[in-house]
Structure 1
């Protein structure tokens, strides 16, 4: 092995016992305003660096022609009798939205021809040996420990089974802020270590402060331990990867010395609610074609989605250090959607960023309900809109700027769509209730009368829907042509029915998400920043009262739209029927989205079935069984203070896993620590401490060896009173 930064000095005293000795590597923040070609590295194999100009020309040409055709047809719809200001606005909004779906259509064509006649997923041949070291890194934040530790164990065991364990170390990097979950993580880690044996290369680190969130978590690991590893393979808390996929990614990195990031296509599995099964089916059937398309025409100028990808450590350390943006949130401060930015900066440094979507064995999970996905989208929305401040970053590749714009528009599309609908309603109101100005002050042989070409409008609507759905049809065809996938998915008839059902449900969910995302955009533009809450991973319902509260205004808007449309023209109601139906049914649809029974009923009927449910991957079974074993051992349960207090062996292990705290400056008083110490000093029993300490104070106690000593001396029950 040729480590990135060979340092033989003794490890710092702050290294926790649950981690290997530190091997630091510098990770400086990257400049955004200045850049020169001299800062770009030289390519080791320039002959292997091929830009896919042909496929890019196809995507560009198809997108431009389709958009031009749509613009011409829409102009033909509104130009009857002259074009008014509102009609120009409608035309402009339509053009922006149509260009968006035209690009996806063009990319889908590329993906379709890339996959037609071949399996969407495959297992590449494994190398005879590896020569590099890779860290499997899973950042975690207030997650259920049995689930994440069970998944890590499954990946580690699978790599070991294939004979490559010496080349991979597993790291669980905790930013957990809930003290009960933190202590549960430590219990799960110790249980896992005991199961795997003393030689297992599985490690755990908890940060006292989750500075800079996930990006800071990974940056802390890289800057302190990254020098020992050639690559980082980044997992998310719901990620799962087979040993075959892990080894194949490491081999791909070794084979390409110019690669900075190689991204896989993580397929959604293990989902059972209705909404999650819709997403799971779409991911498995349509996802490969979409991913293949962007992989082909992005080439080595691709993007990164934050997990299930391998990164060259030196590329990440030297090129992806993130500065804070000037100003205050939501557009300034910490960069939220850091993965896009890291990919852009690594590409700027001269490293390739690309996707290998056909590697089998890369999985993830998805939110269980419409409300859960909207909560996650709020954070993503702020992060993507924040990229508007990064569009002018010096030295970026044009496609990196495209990735930023693509992410920005993925959320701006919702308010644009909403404004387009409002323009249509306003025009209908104008023609219905406002007396037309037949003859203006300007000389004209004909009256100015706002009219539409209804027949042309209907044809354009059909064309727009066809272009929108086409990538799904491409994916469906590829899926059906692959015999094993077709049979494992329930056969042709069930798969086609499932695709039709997915399109219907997605069309009904779409207007609800349009309003949710539009609201997020408006809040962010008004200066509202978002928090950072853990995601729900389990299938489960949401209280009906919460659903009503979240969707009542969506339903009201649906009623208003229906009433206004009926008063104006029945044809307007027909044109807006998918939107009106989705809004009117927002509350029952949202309830149904998280309903476990509905999803399982479809599964029993063989609908929304994916091959990974018929032939369950061994890694998924192993992860589930590992999680159940850890849960049965009680690692997810219990109060943190009581757990540490009750078990002397665990108390000692917890202390060993704590890093040495930095010396406090004299005269600087930490109010929370002082309060925690005062409460512990006055407490007569453990129950007093549990009742008096706040969540933050509990965390401080568990981080401080002196305060832990005070906790340990507390009795469980009061001392008997002398008579």
Structure 2
């Protein structure tokens, strides 16, 4: 404890601190003094993996090779068909442009078209496969095995400045559901907090105490808040793994907005028990609780189109599936042994900690000889979505940086080629936006070239006939039709599959679904050009060296003041005006051709405001648009979590502040019981925030004054440092 404070405590201070901490750690659990925040540590080794050194002979061998190997036939059918379709489209485009010989601008257009079409061709073929899987599953009965589980699972809920009422209501709903299924002994719950806001940290503790009181002996619930957010969420989970994960066979990794039905949790654990080669099983979360148009738009799209997309991906990836960072179960031995993430060389945004850690962890687990599967057949997995375009842009900015880091992971030794495809897909999901933008600009340049630049009919080579800049209009129209089919077929197949499900059709209604389908296409068409520019801007900011930072997500209200909307979207509107002006220089036909993109940019401010408004979202819901079966008839786990949130809101409202915590010995003892241990400070390494907090406490004449002196960051540090809590408590109250 001597190394925890920057200014040495007096002997009396040390004695007081040691007494407080010993009481907190050793006193048995009771209503007055609950058990400590976390169980006893069981350290486990989680070595950092090398991306450049890997020996194939050390890879784990499958125990059940027949079950764990993927189907080459499926991969050949899906990937081969996508390549043939893309090759045919590129050939057709070349025929459209080559009528009079390819000019440099036409060559650029052809290359950009090839890259864009290859992207949508893969999605098209995969959706066809997924449609077949989903339709074949409609008449299949689901298994309901009984009996206790053979393994123990740690359910991890990482949180970062999130609403604690949401987090703990979800945990109580899931834990109670497992208790009702007589499976509670197999699952322990952990809230892994990286919260930096001191008020939210105190709210988390209040919610924890309420949850423990309410759950009683139904489950075991633990809590740990880190003092420093090293490596963000990946570092949060890794800290748990190296200190406590060895107690457990599996880890169920959640997000702060995650909900999983207890039956689904049990089934995930049972699949891990039954498959000794399973390293990770990822569910496909459905979106729920959307209140704005944007959130409900994503909710509808995910529910209607998502199943065939997810099933198609699962169909051909097999045991080389992917991981999306949450709502997945992971074998502890696989994660500890294979998923220790290295830092990338250099500084952020490309170097440092890997932000999009999930794709890389899945690739490393598969490299080590474990399977990674997508459980597309499992329902009952839920999450929430950003409520506005601005919130979506903030989240995507972080994801974009993380996915672009994968460029330096792609050449890693020993990765399965399908794992490399997953990494390339993540990169491509953001590069597709600038490629689309470049295709628009190249097409515009081609039109302006034909309009303003006098063609050179006779080249330097001798020829009897001139070279005319000609485009085959009939072939162009045919290619346009093919592109539309490939682009919209996944949506149409998803709609058909959804309507063929009698239960889903009955809950939502046939005609409401059809109207919602066209409404979703219309609004998505307005949003797409803005997101194209958002992603392009994100890539540019990354290329010039700007780091994304780490900001907590808003979950409910997406409302933004008009002035802020104008500031956020000013460049999008100006780009739309410039594109309109450039197109009008050629012809109004070209303006009409580019109108979907131009309209979305010009209307960026009203579209962003309307789609992020909860009031307008409620109006759309009353009209019956964008309904999903889960909205009409919420799943039991969603209803239970929603009903519990007011209980935790009330508990949080009665939480003490830092001054009260220091002045009240009972509240202080409760807090100290939950504080994570403080690692010894190496001599000479001074924590500036801790030093300032210590100095301000020393300067203050009473508790209230000391708290008033401190910044939020310093108060958060005091809360996480027992010696500072004790030092603060020694000040007079007033």
Query: Smaller-chain TM-score range?
Result: over 0.9
Question: Is residue 702 of structure 2 the alignment partner of residue 688 of structure 1?
Answer: no
Deviation at 1:455, TM superposition (A): 3.5
User: Structure 1 pair 375/272, CA: closer, same or farther in 2 (3 Å)?
Assistant: same
Question: Is residue 677 of structure 2 the alignment partner of residue 660 of structure 1?
Answer: yes
Alignment check: 8 A CA contact 1:347 1:397 kept: yes
Q: Deviations over 1:273-306 (max 9, x none)?
A: 0000100000101100100001010000111101
Deviates most, 551-560 or 264-273: 551-560
Partner of 1:676: 693
Alignment check: 8 A CA contact 1:123 1:359 kept: no
2:631 to 609, 613, 624: 613
Deviation at 1:49, TM superposition (A): 2.3
Question: Is residue 534 of structure 2 the alignment partner of residue 516 of structure 1?
Answer: yes
User: Structure 1 pair 20/396, CA: closer, same or farther in 2 (3 Å)?
Assistant: same
Deviation at 1:34, TM superposition (A): 1.4
User: Structure 1 pair 637/461, CA: closer, same or farther in 2 (3 Å)?
Assistant: farther
Deviates most, 356-365 or 562-571: 562-571
Within-5 A mapping of 1:64-75: 64-75=83-94
Alignment check: 8 A CA contact 1:124 1:248 kept: no
What's the secondary structure of 2:592's corresponding residue?
helix
Within-5 A mapping of 1:405-554: 405-489=424-508, 491-554=509-572
Deviation at 1:700, TM superposition (A): 2.1
Question: Is residue 717 of structure 2 the alignment partner of residue 700 of structure 1?
Answer: yes
Deviation at 1:457, TM superposition (A): 2.3
Q: Deviations over 1:603-660 (max 9, x none)?
A: 1121110001111111111111221111022x16767413423543221111111233
Deviates most, 35-44 or 442-451: 442-451
Partner of 1:579: 597
User: Structure 1 pair 422/122, CA: closer, same or farther in 2 (3 Å)?
Assistant: farther
Q: Distance in 2 between matches of 1:21 and 1:707?
A: 24
Partner of 1:331: 350
Within-5 A mapping of 1:31-42: 31-42=50-61
Alignment check: 8 A CA contact 1:644 1:650 kept: yes
Partner of 1:340: 359
Deviates most, 650-659 or 452-461: 452-461
Alignment check: 8 A CA contact 1:272 1:596 kept: yes
Alignment check: 8 A CA contact 2:25 2:36 kept: no
Q: Distance in 2 between matches of 1:108 and 1:114?
A: 10
1:278 to 274, 290, 297: 297
User: Structure 1 pair 615/105, CA: closer, same or farther in 2 (3 Å)?
Assistant: same
Alignment check: 8 A CA contact 2:176 2:218 kept: no
Q: Distance in 2 between matches of 1:561 and 1:148?
A: 45
Q: Distance in 1 between matches of 2:404 and 2:660?
A: 43
2:212 to 165, 170, 193: 193
Deviates most, 88-97 or 202-211: 202-211
User: Structure 1 pair 281/354, CA: closer, same or farther in 2 (3 Å)?
Assistant: same
**Structure 1 unmatched runs, 5+:** 1-12, 718-723
1:158 to 153, 177, 198: 177
Q: Distance in 1 between matches of 2:290 and 2:426?
A: 26
1:97 to 107, 112, 116: 116
Deviates most, 367-376 or 66-75: 66-75
What's the secondary structure of 2:465's corresponding residue?
coil
Q: Deviations over 1:175-225 (max 9, x none)?
A: 111111111111110111111115631111111111111111111111111
Q: Distance in 2 between matches of 1:392 and 1:674?
A: 44
Q: Deviations over 1:425-484 (max 9, x none)?
A: 111111111111121212233323333223332332222122111111111111001110
Partner of 1:565: 583
Alignment check: 8 A CA contact 1:93 1:416 kept: yes
Deviation at 1:694, TM superposition (A): 1.2
Deviation at 1:30, TM superposition (A): 0.8
Partner of 2:15: none
Alignment check: 8 A CA contact 2:164 2:200 kept: yes
User: Structure 1 pair 507/121, CA: closer, same or farther in 2 (3 Å)?
Assistant: farther
Q: Deviations over 1:316-371 (max 9, x none)?
A: 00011111111111111111100000000000011000111121110000000111
Alignment check: 8 A CA contact 2:25 2:673 kept: no
What's the secondary structure of 2:488's corresponding residue?
helix
Q: TM-score, normalised by structure 1?
A: 0.94
Partner of 2:641: 623
Q: Distance in 1 between matches of 2:606 and 2:319?
A: 45
Partner of 1:175: 194
Deviation at 1:123, TM superposition (A): 5.1
Deviation at 1:154, TM superposition (A): 0.7
Partner of 1:5: none
What's the secondary structure of 1:373's corresponding residue?
helix
**Structure 2 unmatched runs, 5+:** 1-23, 27-34
Partner of 1:77: 96
Q: Deviations over 1:230-284 (max 9, x none)?
A: 0001001110001101001000111111000011110000101000010000010
Partner of 1:10: none
Q: Distance in 1 between matches of 2:69 and 2:606?
A: 51
Deviates most, 646-655 or 260-269: 646-655
- CA RMSD, Structure 1 to Structure 2 (Å): 1.9
What's the secondary structure of 1:576's corresponding residue?
helix
Within-5 A mapping of 1:165-314: 165-197=184-216, 200-314=219-333
Q: Distance in 2 between matches of 1:216 and 1:345?
A: 16
Alignment check: 8 A CA contact 1:120 1:358 kept: no
Alignment check: 8 A CA contact 1:180 1:639 kept: no
